[in-house]
Chain A
Amino acid sequence: MRVYLAKRILLIVPTLLGVASLVFVIMRVIPGDVALLILGGDSGQIDRAQLAAMHHRLGLDQPLVVQFGTWLWAALHFDFGASLWTGRPVVEELLVRLPLSLELAILATIVAVVLAIPFGMLAAMRQDSWLDYVIRVISIGGLAIPSFWAGILVILFLVINFGWGPPLEFTPPWVDPWANFQQMVWPVVTVGYRYAAVTTRMTRSTLLEVMREDYIRTAWAKGLAERVIVIRHALKNAMLPVITLIGTEFAFLIGGLVVTETVFTLNGVGRFVVDAVAHRDYPVVQALVFVIAFGFVIVNLLIDLTYAWFDPRIRYR
Chain B
Amino acid sequence: MSVQYPLVEASASAPLAQRLTRGDQVVKFIRTKPLGAAGAAVILAMMFVAAFAGTLARYDPYQGDYSLQFARPSTEHWLGTDEFGRDLLTRIMYGARIALFVGFTASFTGCTLGALLGVLSAYWGGTVDLLLERLMDILLAFPQLILALAIASILGPAIQNVVVAIAIPIVPRVARVVRATALSVKEHQYVEAVQALGAQRKRVVFQHIVPNVMTPYIIMLTAQFGGAILAEAALSYLGLGTADPTPSWGLMLSGSAPLYAEKAPWMAVFPGVAISLGVFGFNLFGDSLRDALDPKLRRG
Contact = CB atoms under 8 A, between A and B. Distances in A.
The short answer to whether A and B are in direct contact, CB under 8 Å, is: yes
A141 to B, nearest CB: 7
Given A30-B150, A255-B143, A256-B144, A148 B234 contact: yes
Secondary structure dominating the interface of B: helix
Interface string B115-149: 00000000000000000001101111111111101
A15 B280 contact: no
Residue among B2, B150, B278 facing the most chain A CB atoms (10 A cut-off): B150
Given A143-B283, A156-B261, A244-B1, A273 B146 contact: yes
B159 to A, nearest CB: 19
B268 interface: yes
B275 A146 contact: yes
Nearest to B35: A133
Given A22-B138, A153-B257, A252 B143 contact: yes
B145 A258 contact: yes
Contact of B143 (A153, A262, A292, A297): A292
Contacts of A205: 3, 290, 297
B12 to A, nearest CB: 20
Interface residues of B, number: 53
B92 to A, nearest CB: 15
Secondary structure dominating the interface of A: helix
Given A136-B35, A277-B150, A22 B142 contact: yes
B154 A30 contact: yes
Contacts of B141: 15-16, 19, 292-293, 296-297
Contact of B296 (A31, A212, A248): A212
Interface of A: 11, 14-16, 18-19, 22-23, 26-27, 29-32, 127-128, 133, 136-137, 140-141, 143-146, 148-149, 152-153, 156, 160, 201, 205-206, 208-209, 212, 241, 244-245, 248, 252, 255-256, 258-259, 262-263, 270, 273-274, 277, 285, 289, 292-293, 296-297
26 contacts: A15-B134, A15-B138, A16-B141, A136-B35, A136-B284, A140-B283, A144-B226, A144-B278, A144-B279, A148-B233, A148-B234, A149-B253, A152-B257, A152-B261, A152-B268, A156-B261, A205-B297, A206-B3, A208-B297, A209-B4, A252-B143, A258-B234, A259-B145, A262-B237, A293-B142, A293-B143
Given A15-B138, A148-B234, A152-B268, 17 more contacts: A18-B137, A18-B138, A19-B141, A26-B147, A29-B154, A32-B153, A133-B35, A136-B35, A140-B279, A144-B277, A148-B233, A252-B143, A252-B144, A258-B145, A262-B237, A274-B238, A292-B143
